[in-house]
Structure formats: structure tokens, C-alpha cells
Amino acid sequence: MTKSRSATKYEPVDASPVKSFFVKMLTRDIALTDAILDLLDNCVDGILRKKNGVNGDRPYEGFRAYLAFDKDTFSICDNCGGIPWRLKDYAFRLGQAPGREEKLLGTVGTYGIGMKRAIFKMGRQCLITTRNDKDNYEVDLMPEWIDNEDDWAIPVRSASKSMEEDGTNIVIGNLYPGIAAQFGHDKAAFETDLTNKISSHYAFIIDKGFNVTVNGTSIKPKPTRLVFAESFDEGKAIRPYIFRTETNGVKVFLSVGFTRPIPSQEEVQSELEERKWSSMDAGWTVLCNDRAVLYCDKTEQTGWGEASVPQYHTQFIAISGIVEFVSDDPSKLPTTTTKRGIDASSALYLQVKNRMREGMQIFTNYTNSTPTDK
């Protein structure tokens, strides 16, 4: 006869979040430069809140963000509208609270982790001072708060010093050793990398008036070249491939073509050696609400080497394309959580990618059929 087992009482498992996960683990999924770009995204979001969307040719005129860093601190100061107190949960809570109804027109933020992840990526202490209309307050994140797993309430107080304009100042200190090394000993190399990324990923926004400086140097935009030149074939021109659509609240514009006459192989080799013309200028740039999530990409991610499209080669150095996704609802945009990559599983992007390949095939076929050894 089988003995009956005594009933075991199981208590509920505590599934509450662990603060150290957000502080230490979540930050591993993002590069330092991308974390800083997240902070710039917040500046742009502030402009959109202040202006209730983007209108006109230079909607970012008059707005600025100053970035500065050294081995001890990182700071970003802007005049982009500040953080309204009504958005305190979205701004400071680790993740977006459910039931948030307010839509930030034209933003790319969806998950509510960008600013916090950037701060925790760099250091263990941060002072955030912000002014929006009548609200002027500051948030002080200290190592004691970060280390206390039971204390989730972030201290807030009235700003000790009034700001002259609506905006936000973030100063991060107590930097992690690896971050301090990049901002200190490796400062020149890191600054070059960061400015290059800002000049490309924010090219369209800077070109529309936004002023960004890094350690006192104003960043010049490096937009994708879309000047379609005539071919050498008896003066005939090949028109760019253009596609437009709108689906589920997302507007899509796609264009691909030549940025210059097709160079001969000798010209390609000469220019690569002299760096007059670079493969860096070719490929696809993908924009989501004016921000580049891919820049001059030449991989399978944008259709190169797939289906009937060949892999990228220097013979295609004159081919460039751009895709723009625009939506008032950022959750519908085909981006990753870092906002610096494409969600390859997005049904919308897969549909658009078919058009990208279709357009590319026209120009790769034309290149292959055009003599370049003259």
C-alpha cells in the first residue's frame, strides 16, 4: 500500500524587480556611444513636446545640446523644453508605466529606459536638473540609492539654482573605470567616434537647425548623398527608384539611385587609395522619425547579398539609398530597444525590404551592364 504524501505548502515567489539588474545587466546591451545618443534622443523628444510635433523646413532652429566629458564627469545640457512634472513616471521610472495615454508626436522612445540606462552605463552618481514652464526641480541619484534594493523612491527637490531656459542638465560622476578611461586616456579616439556617429545619425535633425556640440566643437551634419547623376551612356540618365506608402499609421518613403556617375575600376581603386570617395558613402540609410537607425549599411540587413541582389562590392560604390519611416506612435517603428538598429522580424520592415531589393537590383544590374574600364 502506497503511503500518501503530506501536503506541502508553497509560498508565493517574490517576482519583484531587482535594481542591480537594471543598473548592471541592462547596460551591457548598449554601446557607450549609443547610450549617449539616447540622451540626445531625449533632447529631440523635448523639442517635439514643446512644439507639438515637427513643422517647417527648420523646426529645430534655436534648440541646442552641449555635451562635455573628461575622466571625472560627463554632462549634457540642453534648452529643449525640460521634463514636465506630469511625465515624471515616464522619465524616471525604470520602464514605461502601463496606461500612459499621452503620445509624444514624432519620438522614437517606447520603453522608457533610455535616460536611466545611459546614466547607469556611465557612473554611480547623477544630478538631473530640469525646468519646464513652472516646474524647476532636480533629481539626485546617489550610490546609496543604487545599492539599496529595498528603496525604489527617487528623491526629488526644488532646483537649488533656477535655470534661465526650459531644458535639462544632466551631470554624471563617480564614473566606472572603463568609462573614465574612454573619457580620459582614450578621449581623442572616443570623441572622434562619437562626433562621427552624431554627424551621421542626427544629420537630418542638425541640418534642420539643431545645434550639437561635443567638448566645445560644433557638429556638422553628414547627410546621405542623394544627388542622382547622369550616366556616361550617351548622356542618358537613369532615374532613381522611388516608393511611397502608408500603412497602420506609418508613412514610408524609399529612394535609391546613383550618387555620381559610375566610376571605372581604375577610378575606384585610385579614389579608395586617395580616400576621395569612400565605400562609407554607399549603401542604405534608414531613418525613423528623422533619426538614422542604420547608416550606409551594406549587409543582408538591408538586402545586400539576398535573393537576386549581389553582395556589396566596390563596383557599387555609387549606389546609395534612403528609407524613411514616420509615425506619431513610436511603437510602430521597426527599431530595436537601442534605437540604433532595425527589428528584422518587423512585418512592416520585411515588406519594405522587398522594395529595397527591387530598387537595388535595377542599379546593380545597370552597373554590371555598363562598361567601367574606359
Q: Based on the number of CB atoms within 10 Å of its own CB, is 39 exposed (0-12), middle (13-18) or buried (19 or more)?
A: buried
Distance CA 259, CA 252 (A): 21
CATH number for the domain spanning 286: value is: 3.30.230
Indicate if 28 and 152 belong to the same structural domain.
yes
Closest to 119 measured CA to CA, from 192, 168, 190: 168
Q: Which residues contact 155 (CB under 8 A, 6 or more apart)?
A: 139, 140, 145
For residue 139, the surrounding DSSP H or E stretch is strand 135-141
User: Is residue 120 domain-shared with residue 266, that is, in the same domain?
Assistant: no
Q: Are residues 180 and 31 in the same domain?
A: yes
Same domain, 162 and 74: yes
Same domain, 130 and 52: yes
Of the three residues 218, 252, 284, the one that is the final residue of a domain is: 218
CATH number of residue 53's parent domain: 3.30.565.10
Q: Is residue 23 part of a domain?
A: yes
Q: Quick one: 85 and 212 in the same domain?
A: yes
Length of the chain: 374
Asked whether residue 106 is assigned to any structural domain, the reply reads yes
Judge if 261 and 143 occupy the same domain.
Answer: no
34 and 165 assigned to the same domain:
yes
Is 189 in the same domain as 270?
no
**Gap between the Cα atoms of 178 and 15, Å rounded:** 32
One domain, residues 268 and 181: no
Range of the domain at 108: 19-218
Q: Please report, in tens digits, the pLDDT of each residue of the chain (374 residues total).
A: 555 566 778 888 888 778 887 777 778 878 999 999 999 999 998 998 887 767 778 889 999 999 999 999 999 999 999 999 988 888 888 766 555 545 555 555 544 578 888 999 999 999 999 999 889 999 999 999 988 988 888 889 999 888 889 999 999 999 999 999 999 999 999 999 999 999 998 998 999 999 999 999 999 998 765 554 444 454 556 788 999 999 999 999 999 988 766 655 665 555 555 445 566 778 999 999 888 899 999 999 999 999 889 999 888 988 999 999 998 888 899 988 777 789 988 999 999 999 999 999 999 998 887 655 44
On whether residue 94 sits in a domain, the answer given is yes
2 found inside a domain: no
**Assigned domain for 145 exists:** yes
